[in-house]
Chains A and B, each alone.
Chain A
């Protein structure tokens, strides 16, 4: 419980730091400070009026989709740095959209488990929408669309499109099929998150996919003491991400929430900053 409170505090603090300019929600302005040169660790739309940092996925697609560029070194560097340092700790502690999903999960509806195969969809989303489509557009016509932002990202719809439509009546003219698609995705994600813990993280988030790949080698990781483990299964039972930490302590799906560590009665699991 104490660990969960600490995590919630970190999530809210991260949300506030990443979206400090709350007043912009009322004026409809976009923050223009120099912090926007930097990428946020979590998924947070840079068109959100309150956002003070850039979205790493939006930044990646912007560069890939621009003429004469085939790869977003700048954004990739940020993602790699965050991933190597923390892995999916970022999803569990720092991502504003992760917090939103957890709040939705508090709604008292029966929770379901997803088939494991759906965990792999996010890798396809990463490859097709973040890398392939922007690059294909850039090669074909000089400018590639940020396909993930354009067709999928529910964070952009929630944090940017809806607030901006409220403050900018002129944007209503731009509402069309594309926005309907995005709104549908957002609604599916909201309903999904009410019935499946972190539905978006598990199935669709390309940033989580990248951080997940780095979970196995990140400095911040989970330690497992096989000798201490009594195979009680308590860690697997409590894991909201559907992992068995005793089998795969550094699974690509682990968001480092620490519930298993807290539950383990024999201290076989621990979170460590492995510097050696």
Chain B
């Protein structure tokens, strides 16, 4: 139980840290355009 709770906290902190670094914006900007190389066309 303690491990699962600890991992959930790590997950939450990881999302928060990533968002703080601007990773959320980077993901969003990638996701709202056709990523040509992602689909084998680039």
Contact = CB atoms under 8 A, between A and B. Distances in A.
Interface of A: 30-32, 34, 36-37, 39, 45-47, 51, 54-55, 58-59, 62-63, 66, 69, 72-78, 80-81, 84-85, 145-146, 149-151, 153, 156-157, 160-161, 164-165, 168, 171, 174-175, 178-179, 181-183, 214, 217-219, 274-276
Nearest to B41: A174
B12 to A, nearest CB: 7
A164 B37 CA distance: 13
A73 to B, nearest CB: 4
Contacts, number: 149
B23 to A, nearest CB: 4
Contact of A219 (B4, B35, B41): B4
Interface in B1-42: 1, 3-4, 7-8, 10-19, 21, 23-24, 26-28, 30-42
B33 A74 contact: no
Interface of B: 1, 3-4, 7-8, 10-19, 21, 23-24, 26-28, 30-42
A255 to B, nearest CB: 20
Given A46-B35, A84-B11, A73 B21 contact: yes
Main SS of the interface on chain A?
A: helix
A30 B28 CA distance: 12
Main SS of the interface on chain B?
A: helix
Given A73-B21, A74-B19, A218-B4, A161 B39 contact: yes
A131 B28 CA distance: 20
The 5 A-B residue pairs whose C-beta atoms are closest, nearest first, are: A74-B18, A77-B14, A77-B15, A182-B40, A73-B18
Contact of B4 (A31, A84, A157): A84
B4 A156 contact: no
Given A37-B28, A47-B34, A84-B7, A73 B23 contact: yes
Given A31-B32, A81-B11, A74 B40 contact: no
Given A46-B31, A62-B26, A164-B34, A81 B8 contact: yes
Given A32-B32, A63-B26, A77 B11 contact: yes
